[in-house]
Structure 1
Amino acid sequence: MYRYAIEYLNEWFSRENRKPLIIRGARQVGKTTLIRLFAKRENIELIEVNMEDPQSFTSLLQNNQPQEIFELLALERKLTELQPDKTLIFFDEVQETPEIIPFLRYCYERSNSIRVICAGSLLEFSLGDSKTSFPVGRIEYMYLNPMSFDEYIHAVAGQGLYNKLTGFSISAPISAPIHTLLTQHFREYLICGGMPESVKAKAKGATILEIERIKSSIIESYSADFPKYTKYITHRPDTSLLLELFEKLPNFVGKKITYSKLSPTNTAAKVNKHIKHLEQALIVKKCMHTSAQYPPLKSGINEKIFKLIVLDVGLLQTQLGVSIADIKSSSDVNKLAKGELAEQYIGQQILALKPFFIKPQLYHWSRTAHGSEAEVDYLIEFNGNIYPLEVKAGTSNTMRSLKLLQIEKKFPIAFRFYSGEAKQEKQTVLINDNKFTYTLISLPHYACNQLKSVLEELNKPSQIKY
């Protein structure tokens, strides 16, 4: 299956000033498979080293001589020599031998001609461990998420529909039949999700029952990892609380987190700490409130106000038990599961829009004033501007929270995602007896990955139409 990240790996591999690469992503998002696909496509000699297995070179790590270890790895595989431009050394599950992380410094300083990549299913715990010596400035990161909707379409629907989707334009709308087809695939994506194993099965014609089995197995694998956290975290987390949060958090997707509702028998501090552990494992993601009116969005965050999304919309559908028949037949996807599926989907696609070398973050806006509560689902920034994104049910005229935000911030363009076709309209709010008019762009859910190209289009004045 094609992943956009393959192109980033190719750019990294070819770059003269590259550094050893650490791929960061949750268990089963396809890190190992990605490396293998890349090596096969580019005809590269892949030396794959799984650190869960005993390795002969571990005692040599303290010598800080990469060439010594590389030579040993080559000899063990009956290779006479390593060709730097055609060789990739991949250390997998490196959390089992965290000494590899400081060793990367010497890979960069003494043997930079050999390309080195590291990954691990619980690697984030090693990266966050204060005991691990960290080679600052001598490594680089790549962040890998579940497959985006675009990648899903490429895998299950083929190049033709993929080309139609990625060629989406606000000025030349997709025809009604293709819109219907993409909407159908979008609803199927809500069921299948973007976990590579599920998508691969879907592409091969697996039944819904088989895909459900795969998703359930992935969910079980995450909870089975919780006892392992104690190996990597100094204060020994409460595995029963981790499981409790993991099972309850799907019901809180897109909602402001209240610790007492998540776990009434534990303190807020303890619950917060264990949510952070799930964050470290990359199976949940915070969406921070920000009051910023100008970029960067992070300049206005309030650490105490946040929502959460989970890793993948398909896993969420399974965890919530949302009816597959309802997903396929609902007239308004934004109403399903109190809006959680649609909000999860959009958040997941926003994360996939970030360049692979940037740690992705999500932001929203909320107001908690009594009697005037409001929330806009997401805020994004692009080319020096901030854009609100709404995923709520209802017509454009009933978007109360967005209007309250616009009274306060006056953003010239806003988006909403819904089940209809693309359209533009002007909306007006009254501010101290003065009118403020902004452009509301309504997009079908399936076009979320095209946000960047739509924004580039909208920056041309002639493209803003009413």
Structure 2
Amino acid sequence: MHEILLSTYVADFFKYATPAEQNYLKIFFSGIFPLIAQQFKYAKIDPHVRSRELKDALNHLEWAGLFKPVYASAASGIPLSAQLKQNRFKLLFLDVGLVQHALQIAPEKVYAKDLIQINRGAIAEQFVGQELIAYSDPHKLEGLFYWQNEKVGSDAEVDYIVTNEEQIIPVEVKAGPTGKLRSLRQFMIMKKAPLGVHISEAILSFKDGVLSVPFYLISKLPEFFEELLSSK
């Protein structure tokens, strides 16, 4: 079924694009899945194809609802879109199951300890992005954002940043139950965030300003925020 769905998307290129556009759409679609949830560069799709052509292909696929950009934001205030970096973004596909299939990862292998960590991380980040979209307010079309420390020599990055009323909250995703949260804590200090969120396989807990949430409770984030932040 997954293969049929992916093949159907490719077949639709012939219905809505010119012959030249079809070629670039196929090039983009065939090369994008290993790059899901990574900082995107057109050259990573195909270094021999002009970025302009691939950008047009991405625009078509985004308009069709197949891909969702996650833009970098300085996150110094609300709205987050006011400080987004237009040329710095990651891409999410519309369905994590299709991403797994495109990467040839069997569902039962997603939580295998010997699975290449970069794939586990990308799949986890894709899943969380989907959940954040699914449970967001449909009347607010702000989109998804992440944060990078732009200081020279720093590699700090927070997977997602979300808002709750006037507050900005960092969200770090870990494929496994444990992991260091240096970037999350760095953001909390720099931006004076009221709390941080760590999404993983770990059980629900709250310690030292960090709310640990298992993947299956992402839909409850608004309720957790209301409970934890109502007194702040």
Q: Is TM > 0.5 for Structure 1 vs Structure 2? A: yes
- Look up the match of 2:215: 445
Query: What SS is found at the alignment partner of 1:447?
Result: helix
- Which residue among 70, 79, 98 is the counterpart of 1:287? 70
2:171–2:199 contact (8 Å) kept in structure 1: yes
**Structure 1 residues 293-352: Cα deviation after superposition (integer angstroms, max 9, x where no partner):** 22111111110110100010111111111133322x536999461411110000001111
Summarize the alignment of residues 24-423 of structure 1 with structure 2, pairs less than 5 Å apart: 214-230=1-17, 238-327=21-110, 329-330=111-112, 335=117, 337-359=119-141, 361-393=143-175, 398-423=180-205
Letter in 1 for 2:16: Y
1:354–1:360 contact (8 Å) kept in structure 2: no
Query: What SS is found at the alignment partner of 2:159?
Result: strand
Query: Which whole-Å CA distance do the structure 1 matches of 2:95 and 2:68 have between them?
Result: 10
Query: Which whole-Å CA distance do the structure 2 matches of 1:393 and 1:311 have between them?
Result: 19
- Look up the match of 1:23: none
Letter in 1 for 2:164: F
User: Against the structure 1 CA distance between its residues 359 and 304, is the aligned structure 2 distance closer, same or farther, given a 3 Å change threshold?
Assistant: same
User: How much has 1:388 moved relative to structure 2?
Assistant: 0.6
User: How much has 1:406 moved relative to structure 2?
Assistant: 2.7
- Look up the match of 1:121: none
User: How much has 1:257 moved relative to structure 2?
Assistant: 0.7
Unaligned runs of at least 5 residues, structure 2: none
Query: Which whole-Å CA distance do the structure 1 matches of 2:82 and 2:41 have between them?
Result: 24
- Look up the match of 1:459: 229
Query: Which whole-Å CA distance do the structure 2 matches of 1:260 and 1:389 have between them?
Result: 28
Query: What SS is found at the alignment partner of 2:27?
Result: helix
Query: Which whole-Å CA distance do the structure 2 matches of 1:389 and 1:459 have between them?
Result: 15
1:351–1:360 contact (8 Å) kept in structure 2: no
Query: What SS is found at the alignment partner of 2:196?
Result: strand
Query: Which whole-Å CA distance do the structure 1 matches of 2:26 and 2:217 have between them?
Result: 35
User: How much has 1:241 moved relative to structure 2?
Assistant: 1.6
Query: Which whole-Å CA distance do the structure 1 matches of 2:86 and 2:155 have between them?
Result: 19
Query: Which whole-Å CA distance do the structure 2 matches of 1:278 and 1:454 have between them?
Result: 34
1:334–1:391 contact (8 Å) kept in structure 2: no
**Structure 1 residues 169-226: Cα deviation after superposition (integer angstroms, max 9, x where no partner):** xxxxxxxxxxxxxxxxxxxxxxxxxxxxxxxxxxxxxxxxxxxxx2211111111111
Query: Which whole-Å CA distance do the structure 2 matches of 1:282 and 1:320 have between them?
Result: 20
User: How much has 1:367 moved relative to structure 2?
Assistant: 3.0
2:24–2:53 contact (8 Å) kept in structure 1: no
User: How much has 1:229 moved relative to structure 2?
Assistant: 2.2
**Structure 1 residues 388-417: Cα deviation after superposition (integer angstroms, max 9, x where no partner):** 101035676722222332342121211011
2:175–2:201 contact (8 Å) kept in structure 1: no
1:332–1:418 contact (8 Å) kept in structure 2: no
Query: Which whole-Å CA distance do the structure 2 matches of 1:359 and 1:451 have between them?
Result: 18
Query: Which deviates more, 273-282 or 329-338?
Result: 329-338
- Look up the match of 1:205: none
User: Against the structure 1 CA distance between its residues 383 and 255, is the aligned structure 2 distance closer, same or farther, given a 3 Å change threshold?
Assistant: same
Unaligned runs of at least 5 residues, structure 1: 1-213, 427-438
Query: Which whole-Å CA distance do the structure 1 matches of 2:137 and 2:108 have between them?
Result: 36
User: How much has 1:256 moved relative to structure 2?
Assistant: 0.6
User: How much has 1:267 moved relative to structure 2?
Assistant: 1.5
User: Against the structure 1 CA distance between its residues 295 and 256, is the aligned structure 2 distance closer, same or farther, given a 3 Å change threshold?
Assistant: same
User: Against the structure 1 CA distance between its residues 347 and 321, is the aligned structure 2 distance closer, same or farther, given a 3 Å change threshold?
Assistant: same
Query: Which whole-Å CA distance do the structure 2 matches of 1:365 and 1:332 have between them?
Result: 29
TM-score of the superposition, structure 1-length normalised?
Answer: 0.47
Query: Which whole-Å CA distance do the structure 1 matches of 2:43 and 2:109 have between them?
Result: 31
Summarize the alignment of residues 418-433 of structure 1 with structure 2, pairs less than 5 Å apart: 418-426=200-208
User: Against the structure 1 CA distance between its residues 332 and 389, is the aligned structure 2 distance closer, same or farther, given a 3 Å change threshold?
Assistant: farther
Please tell me whether Structure 1 or Structure 2 has the larger radius of gyration of its CA atoms: 1
Query: What SS is found at the alignment partner of 2:17?
Result: helix
